[in-house]
Structure 1
Amino acid sequence: MTLIYASGVVAVLGPLLVVPWLVVRWAPAGAGSRGAGRLRGAVAGLTAAIGRLGAAAVVLLAGSAAVVAVCWPLGEALSRLEPHVDRPVFAYVHARRVEGWAQVNSLVTGIGDRYPLMWVTAVAALALALAWRRRRWWLPLVALPLQFVVEQYTQEILSRLVDRGHPPTDLGTYPSGGCARLLMTFGVAVTLFVLVRPISRRVLAALVTAPAVLATVEGYTRVYAEKHWLTDVVGGLIFGTLLTGVAVFALVVADGRVPPPLDPPAAPSRRHGYAMTGT
């Protein structure tokens, strides 16, 4: 039992220690990288061609497809670990279940279910629309329900592609939707709040850390409640992180907050369709 309780502590302390460091130290370095500069250039070109909303739609669709392309082979690889990782972990937890702790986990794991998060999505959309009333008030009303739909159907595509089965006690499969839904719902809500209310980097770190803690705790409870294999949870955290990043970036594009590229592309020639150089 000590190992099981220690895992619960790690599920809380891990993101509390790692995520603020990523936000404060790593994120600014990543934003100034060459790859980020190229991405800004591509977004600038898309925005010039089809507008902010069109560019955001392309980012969301292309990014979701890229997440599937990454998480499909990941799911196949994780499936091969079932005999060596998932079943031994399942047997270990099952043999050491404590009724009181099992009831707590069964209660807590409900925070990642679709129905409660539908209400969170609706309330957050209305509250943030009021906060955005002097700007694009409709953006929260579109972005929050849309993230819910995108997560659900992207997860469904992955579960059908991988089709790995489920534990003997429940129907949960790859990837863990509870982890991904928490990251998506609160990640997009936090982004909408930050876009309309400038805050310090430390406050931003705290706001980003909160959904991460919820997701890792959700992952722990899904395993203890015997709803998912351990590798389903690992896959769900990776899937949710990647898809949340795509949704957040699409939202930033839609609001016109992507910084311009350092070296803006030359304007195309009206006659020949390519950049002209002087001699």
Structure 2
Amino acid sequence: MPDPQILTITVLGVVLVPPVTYVLALRARISAAGRLAAIRDRLVDMRAGLDRSITPVGAFVVLASTVLTVVTGVMYALGRVVPHLQPLDWVVFRWIAAHQTDGFTAVMSVVTQMGNKYQCWIVSAVMVVVFALVAPRRRWVGLLVLGAMIVLQHYQQVGIADVIQRGHPPDSGGTFPSGASARIAAIYGTGLFLILRALGVSRRVWAGAWALVAVLMFVEGWSRVYLNAHWVSDVPPGWVNGVLMLLGFVFASWNLVPVRSRRPPGGVRAAPSGGRAGRSATARRR
């Protein structure tokens, strides 16, 4: 049996993270107001301009490179702050060591492998195949976008780790931020985005997908902390890294992914509001 306190943290995370993420994802789809709307519109216009001038593929390359540069800068800044949390890391490290049990450790040792490098690459290959089946005319997009994410995320992780030089517990000095925690969001999230955008799913399905990614992120990060594979302060920056890379790639590849149109029941397209059909109906009522 797992330690009661460890079990409580695990259950609370698995139970609470999905609904909270689901609600936040639904609300995030509501149009932003004021300055946020202006910033969003400028970014969309910029992307459209790049699409016209250097093609959508060229725009993706430029935007993905920009995302990598910005996110790496953010992670470097966090990497300079996190070592100051070392006293807290030691407290959590000792507490975890005192509450580990053989059975739960065996379970977590299996669960944590979903964030390992090669496992993520295998899952991404499956997602590329699924995307090719969903969007056969643009099957190459999945390979391009997920392939770029895998390569950039891997070498970014290696580069940051070499610069920050923060080692596994209880060593003092190479794996910041948590790469496994970042890969769940960056790779799994990007694959889900490609497939769901190609399918043209509803807002609720999108929210459910992000809730799934969020709970996988929690489980992966918590498993790394429980196994003392990372300092606790390595994991949240890993989540931040993965989410920022995911959001950046969603924006960069948005116009590359073909969207399957969804028609009303019966296959008849609804007339647009204020269109010719709407004006004719109004004239007849008069």
TM-score of the superposed pair, with normalisation by structure 1: 0.85
Larger relative contact order, structure 1 or 2 (CA cutoff 8 Å, min sep 6): 1
Instruction: Give the residue type in structure 1 aligned to 2:182.
Output: A
Aligned twin of 1:23:
25
Is it true that 1:54 corresponds to 2:54 in the alignment?
A: no
Aligned twin of 1:75:
79
Instruction: Give me the identity figure in percent.
Output: 33
In 2: Cα distance, 1:110 partner to 1:58 partner: 33
Cα distance, 1:165 vs structure 2: 2.5
Aligned twin of 1:93:
96
Change (3 A) 1:116 1:172: farther
Aligned twin of 2:273:
none
Kept in 1, the 8 Å contact 2:166–2:174? The answer is no
Instruction: Give the residue type in structure 2 aligned to 1:96.
Output: H
Aligned twin of 2:267:
none
Describe the superposition over 1:192-234 as per-residue Cα deviations: whole angstroms up to 9, x where unpaired: 1122111111111111111111111000000111100101111
In 1: Cα distance, 2:24 partner to 2:225 partner: 26
Cα distance, 1:169 vs structure 2: 7.3
| TM alignment of 1:1-279, pairs within 5 A | 1-30=3-32, 33-83=37-87, 85-133=88-136, 135-168=137-170, 173-255=175-257
Kept in 2, the 8 Å contact 1:108–1:218? The answer is yes
Q: Which has the larger radius of gyration?
A: 2
TM-score of the superposed pair, with normalisation by structure 2: 0.83
Change (3 A) 1:172 1:100: farther
- Point out the more displaced range, 216-225 or 202-211: 202-211
In 2: Cα distance, 1:106 partner to 1:138 partner: 35
| Unpaired stretches in structure 2, ≥5 consecutive residues | 260-286
In 1: Cα distance, 2:26 partner to 2:83 partner: 35
Aligned twin of 1:260:
none
Is the partner of 2:31 in helix, strand or coil? helix
In 1: Cα distance, 2:134 partner to 2:258 partner: 18
State the superposition RMSD in angstroms.
2.0
Moved >4 Å (runs of 4+): 169-172
In 2: Cα distance, 1:30 partner to 1:173 partner: 37
Is the partner of 1:54 in helix, strand or coil? helix
Change (3 A) 1:223 1:8: same
